[in-house]
Amino acid sequence: MGNFASLLAGFQVALAPENIGVCLLGAILGLVVGAMPGIGSLAGCALLLPLTYKFNPTTAIIMLGALYYANMYGGSFSAILLNIPGDSPAITTALDGYPMARKGRPGQALMTANLASFIGGTIGILILTLTASGLATVGLMFGYAEMTIILLIAMTSISWLIGENPIKGIVITMLGILVASIGMDTLSGAPRYEFGNMYLLGGIPFTPFIIGCVGFAQVIKLINEREADEKKRASDDSKQKLSIKDSMLKGHDFKRMLPPTLRSGVMGTFVGVLPGSGATTGSMVGYAIQKKFKSEEPMGTGAIEGIAASEAANNAAAAGAFAPLLALGIPGSGTGAVLLGGLMMWGLNPGPLLFDTNPDFCWGLISSMYVANIFTLLVAILVIPFLIKILSVPVKYMIPIITCVCIVGAYSTSNSMYGVIVMFVSGIVGYLLDKNGFPTAPMLLAFVLAPMLEQNMRKAFIASQGGLGIFVDSPLKLVLLAVFLVLILTPTVKAVRKKLGAKEKTKV
Amino acid sequence: MEKKRFNLRTVIPLATIVFSLIFIIVGLKDYGFWKGQPTPGFFPIIIATVLLISSVACFFQVAKDKDSEAVHYNRNELMVMLGAAAIILCTFIIGLVPSCLIYIFLWLKFVEHASWKVIVIIELIMAAIILGVFTFWLQIRFPMGLLLDMIL
């Protein structure tokens, strides 16, 4: 009951004219960025972070939240119409969305994606409303040692889940932590690893680093997609005409999409809450589970059930990911890490106390997600007739535009060319890492969480005077430690078994 | 005799090995590890040690792996990097905003061979974003460069 009273108070914040305006702006930008193949929610949030500097923290996070959320809707547009997923969570949407469009039902495929996203998202936000403050209360029981283990779990789980190679996951995570330790010691304020450089004394600035690793690295990769993009555009698929009237779903279609939407909505939320999983894992799990159920047409051939399961799960996961972010200060994904970095930049300290110290902010954000969900659905439906035009912006024109946005954005957040140079260098490093199979999302997460991990770890060691017993002296810590060990050992055991299996095969 | 080719994929683990060694050596020398309680070097040294061990393991894993495809870099990717580097260098001479707009023009005209109509539309949109959003709304003062500083 208390949660709903707080939610109503939150609506007073969310429905302020300024917040409604930015929510709508975030929804429109999110749809456009999501629809553009190759940009994605992570790069979208990173590139638009500088635009939020003018706002107060609540308004700023409402805009970014709406943008992230709308991105999930937008990703399905190009997946359905061009067979190019706008973002990784839309990969599974393309499996049935594009075949359905090829069967002459592109409008209904888009409408299914929009409605499933809306229903899945609403389920996610409802569960977030019910559980977020409870999770924060649990978080209040955590001391330095518990927080240290939880942060380690968050960092390792994203490494395991994103990449196939656990060793590369560790390398990239540790690299992110070390980069974050340049500048000043988090406890004493003493200079550290600045190598006599006055710029490094202030550390590696967060926003230019993120813009580089995600945005600029993405542009460098995007140039290889020019030719494929041109070929796709030259095909007949991109010359269809769409109208809202022709896109409406019939009663039978709606009946087919509802059960997978509801199922994936609930499941996607819980996947989103897990550290490291995020919307991509959500949509993949949603689609995989749907395969176990009956669908009128076989999955992968244009089944409405497939689109609904994938889209409901990714939107629900996007909403669910806000629970650990707000309640524990632990982002579930790379995009969550950008949002967390933004919160810290605006002077907020996400964690168990946030619901007590800044209730307006927390509940305002949660309420705004309901508003953003409705806005995004309306815009997503109204935009259907113009989608072909929006998607017709060729990738080759986006390259110089995004390059300049990266440079201007990096300068504006640091007011110095140092920020631009950090963006440039981190962009090249991010590109090289990605090219060699090192995923950059764990590095961003580690970069954001590193100061928190260091503070908690050092305080735990100060309290125990160097003893390791502080990490195993209660049942809760033992459970957390067991989870951490399972996370580390599972992929290693899997890799060893795979190798042994391959060796036995070659012997036979 | 067959010539052994250098595996480009080993560059990243080699770089992280060097990076971690620098952090361990500088950390131990300048910041210490433990003086009754953890010192500023405590946390980075632990992390750098884990990075060193995992990088060595990664190096051998990558070097042994014969199945994965070789990494290919192409000229176009380098052009994007050089374009951004040119904007940064030109910023010190003619300022950031003109550098960006000139870069967009040159890229669209000579790399993408875009039509004048497309170039004008994109230039206008970008000028509106940079000047309208960043300069007037966010009140960011972009660097003017040596030339504009002398003139204005």
Residue B106 and residue B135 share a domain: yes
Q: Residue A191: is its pLDDT beyond 80?
A: yes
Report the pLDDT value the prediction gives residue B127, as an integer from 0 to 100. Answer: 93
Helix (H) or strand (E) holding A497: helix A475-507
Report pTM.
0.82
Residue B58 and residue B80 share a domain: no
Query: Which residue did the predictor score with more confidence, A104 or B8?
Result: A104
Q: Residue A6: is its pLDDT beyond 90?
A: no
User: pLDDT tens for residues B92-147?
Assistant: 999 999 999 999 999 999 999 999 999 999 999 999 989 988 888 778 889 998 88
Report the pLDDT value the prediction gives residue A122, as an integer from 0 to 100. Answer: 94
| Residues A31, A225, A403, A424, Cα dihedral to 10° | 120
Q: Residue A162: is its pLDDT beyond 60?
A: no
- The whole-number average pLDDT for the span A136-148 is 85
Report the pLDDT value the prediction gives residue A360, as an integer from 0 to 100. Answer: 85
Show the DSSP H helices in chain B as ranges: 11-26, 42-64, 75-94, 96-106, 116-127, 145-151
Say yes or no: A461 contacts chain B, CB-CB below 8 A.
yes
Tell me the shortest Cα–Cα distance from B107 to chain A, in angstroms: 7
Query: Which residue did the predictor score with more confidence, B102 or A154?
Result: B102
Residues A436, B9: C-beta atoms closer than 8 Å = yes
312-351 of A, contacting B, C-beta below 8 A: none
Report the pLDDT value the prediction gives residue B12, as an integer from 0 to 100. Answer: 92
Query: Which residue did the predictor score with more confidence, A114 or A502?
Result: A114
The verdict on residue B117 lying in a domain is yes
Q: Which domain holds residue B15?
A: 8-64
Cβ(A321)–Cβ(A131) under 8 Å?
no
- Give the integer Cα–Cα distance in Å for B152 and B144: 9
Report the pLDDT value the prediction gives residue B1, as an integer from 0 to 100. Answer: 46
Residue B86 and residue B54 share a domain: no
Residue B56 and residue B12 share a domain: yes
- Give the integer Cα–Cα distance in Å for B50 and B68: 26
User: pLDDT tens for residues A227-254?
Assistant: 776 776 666 555 567 788 888 888 899 9
CA distances from B132 to A51, A63, B33 (A): 12, 19, 51
Residues B84, A427: C-beta atoms closer than 8 Å = yes
Residue B24 and residue B83 share a domain: no
List, as one string, the DSSP characters of A303-346.
Answer: -HHHHHHHHHHHHHHHHHTHHHHHHHS--SSHHHHHHHHHHHHT
pLDDT > 70 in chain A, percent: 92
Query: Which residue did the predictor score with more confidence, A111 or B152?
Result: A111
- Give the integer Cα–Cα distance in Å for A157 and A263: 25
Q: Which range has the top average pLDDT, A100-114, A237-251, A345-359, A483-497?
A: A100-114
Query: Given the structure tokens 């933004």, which residue do they identify?
Result: A342
Residue B110 and residue B49 share a domain: no
Q: Residue A393: is its pLDDT beyond 60?
A: yes
The verdict on residue B111 lying in a domain is yes
The verdict on residue B123 lying in a domain is yes
First to last CA, chain B: 67
* Dihedral (CA of A433, A439, A443, A444) sign: positive
A262 — pLDDT class (breaks 50, 70, 90): very high
The verdict on residue B1 lying in a domain is no
399-418 of A, contacting B, C-beta below 8 A: 399-401, 403-408, 411-412, 415, 417
Report the pLDDT value the prediction gives residue A159, as an integer from 0 to 100. Answer: 62
Residue B17 and residue B56 share a domain: yes
Supply A114's token pair: 């929009």
Residues A220, B20: C-beta atoms closer than 8 Å = no
Point out the least confidently predicted range of A338-342, B1-5, B112-116: B1-5
Query: Which residue did the predictor score with more confidence, B14 or A39?
Result: B14
480-499 of A, contacting B, C-beta below 8 A: none
Residue B33 and residue B83 share a domain: no
The verdict on residue B40 lying in a domain is yes
φ, ψ dihedrals at A192, nearest 5°? -150, 130
Q: Show Cβ contacts of residue A300 under 8 Å, excluding neighbours closer than 6 positions.
A: A95, A96, A99, A306
The verdict on residue B3 lying in a domain is no
Tell me the shortest Cα–Cα distance from B137 to chain A, in angstroms: 8
B70 — pLDDT class (breaks 50, 70, 90): confident
Last residue of a domain, one of B64, B86, B109: B64
The verdict on residue B99 lying in a domain is yes
118-177 of A, contacting B, C-beta below 8 A: 165, 167-168, 170-171, 174-175, 177
Q: Which residues of B touch A181 (CB under 8 A)?
A: 23, 43-44, 47
Residue B47 and residue B100 share a domain: no
Q: What is the 3-state secondary structure (H, E, C) of A377-431?
A: HHHHHHCHHHHHHHHCCCHHHHHHHHHHHHHHHHHHHHCCHHHHHHHHHHHHHHH
A46 — pLDDT class (breaks 50, 70, 90): confident
- Give the integer Cα–Cα distance in Å for B51 and A178: 9
User: What is the domain count for chain B?
Assistant: 2
B78 — pLDDT class (breaks 50, 70, 90): very high
Residues B104, A400: C-beta atoms closer than 8 Å = yes
Report the pLDDT value the prediction gives residue A182, as an integer from 0 to 100. Answer: 95
CA distances from B46 to A208, A440, A450, B29, B64 (A): 27, 22, 13, 14, 28
The verdict on residue B70 lying in a domain is no
Residue B84 and residue B42 share a domain: no
Q: Residue A428: is its pLDDT beyond 50?
A: yes
- The whole-number average pLDDT for the span A4-32 is 88
20-79 of A, contacting B, C-beta below 8 A: 50-51, 53-54
Last residue of a domain, one of B45, B64, B83: B64
A192: β partners:
A183
Q: Residue A78: is its pLDDT beyond 90?
A: no
- The whole-number average pLDDT for the span A315-334 is 84
User: pLDDT tens for residues B5-63?
Assistant: 566 788 999 999 999 999 999 999 999 999 888 999 999 999 999 999 999 999 998 88
Supply A458's token pair: 């050092």
Sequence letter at residue A197: N
Residues A417, B91: C-beta atoms closer than 8 Å = yes
Q: Residue A53: is its pLDDT beyond 80?
A: no
User: pLDDT tens for residues A193-238?
Assistant: 999 888 999 899 988 998 899 889 988 988 887 777 677 666 655 5
Residues A224, B74: C-beta atoms closer than 8 Å = yes
Residue B86 and residue B18 share a domain: no
Last residue of a domain, one of B21, B40, B64: B64
